[in-house]
Structure 1
């Protein structure tokens, strides 16, 4: 069974647009690079040709990756059964109980994770620890530096 990729509707649209760009504009650009590099002569010592072929390989790899995601995605939807708990798509505010600092995060699918910008994957240790928690509950996360404790302050959908 293929892995399911959990995506927001916005990320789904971004991937569809990326795939369209890769298959139309970018594929044509790479083909032109290869054609131009071939015109330089001997392919055995032609670094431009080698670079263009490498670029083509990266392009086809990314196309296959995006097609796989688009073939196996699940849209993150609002759930009514536990409206006041953390779930995929929730925007949360937590208090770091050790340092007394407030932090904000959004729980997203692994394809949308960007920890440096506050978007944490549901598959990460912190994301898994947060799922199902309600406002006021403590979250304990095993980190390389030891146990980290947070308190959920606010949950928005």
Structure 2
């Protein structure tokens, strides 16, 4: 399967899930500062911070102001970062707990090749390929518990 096909099937499934969030918010990227962000109002932003180390992006933390939580903004930032990594042939180390949960919720063989850590995320059962013809809602990442050993 080509990278374009992988990306289009992944993105189309995600767009269907978050079509309303995507209509109201645009994600911006500041490569120099290692940020993906959404402007929420004049004084507020939701931010995903990362550190680039060669071809590996260490996804560190997502911060969404309290009054904007529950609107799918963290998911939008996460999906944008995943798409950015796929399109640019990069890799991700998921330090951010929310991103770890999201990855476990949507884990599939096409995405697995872009994730390089942490080790507890890489272990576990084999994943199923995403079927772009199925429009079921993805599980909420908050439904997954992550245990550190």
**TM-score exceeds 0.5:** no
Larger helix proportion, structure 1 or 2?
1
> What TM-score, normalized to structure 2?
0.26
Compare CA radii of gyration and give the structure with the larger one: 1
TM-score, normalised to structure 1, is: 0.25
